[in-house]
Amino acid sequence: MSLCPRCQAAEDKLRIEHKGLNAKGELVWTIFHCTSCSFTWRDSEPAISIDYDKREAFFRVDPSKPYPVIMPPEQYK
């Protein structure tokens, strides 16, 4: 496992979610989740989705920046 393909978070921010096995019980792929930017991916996906350098820069996420909050809880208190 390397960095998050979307926000480049380090390994300690990444979680193994699930391993997909075939009928013989052999590993086919693994699903990961980034706890920093909430990106989820499978290691068998095409590079355009899971390789930081091949992904369009437009879709990068920097969790330290502000993002819109839907129905901000404090607004309705």
Partner 1 sequence: MSNDKKELSANALAVANRIGSLRDFLAFLEENGQCVTWEDEVFPEPDIRNVAVAAGRDAANGPAVIFNNIAGYPGKKLVLGVHGSFTNIALLLGYPKGTTVKELFYDIISRWGADKPLLDFIEPEDAPINENRITDNFNLYDLLPLYRINEYDGGFYIGKANVVSRDPRDPESFDKQNVGIYRIQVQAPGEFTLLSIPAHDMGRHIIAAEQLNVPLKISVMLGNHPAMCMFAATPVGYEESEFAYASQMMGSPMRLTKSGNGMDILADSEMVIEAELINGVRSFEGPFGEFPGSYSGVRKIPRFKVTAISHRNDPIFENIYIGKGWTEHDTLIGLNTSAPIYAQLKQDFPEVEAVNALYQHGLTAVISVKNRFAGFAKSVAMRALGTPHGTMYLKNLIMVDDDVDPFDLNQVMWALSTRTRADDIIVVPNMPLIPIDPAAEVAGKGHRLIIDATSFMPPDKLGSDSKIVTAPAGPEIDALAKIIQMLQNGEKS
- Asked whether position 71 contacts partner 1 by CB under 8 A, the answer is yes
Residue 10 or 15: the one with the smaller Cβ distance to partner 1 is 15
Q: Give residues with Cβ within 8 angstroms of 5, minimum separation 6.
A: 39, 41, 49, 50, 51, 52, 55
Element (H, E) at 30: strand 27-34
Q: What is the rounded distance in angstroms from the CA atom of residue 50 to the CA atom of residue 59?
A: 11
Judged by CB under 8 A, the residue of 12, 46, 53, 57 near partner 1 is 46
The strand pair at 40-42 and 27-34 is best described as antiparallel
- Asked whether position 39 contacts partner 1 by CB under 8 A, the answer is yes
Longest pairwise C-alpha distance within the chain: 54
Judged by CB under 8 A, the residue of 12, 48, 53, 57 near partner 1 is 48
Residue 11 or 24: the one with the smaller Cβ distance to partner 1 is 24
Write out the residues near partner 1 by the rule CB under 8 A. Answer: 6, 15, 17-18, 20-23, 28-29, 31, 33, 37-42, 44-46, 48-49, 55-56, 59, 61, 63, 67-73, 76-77
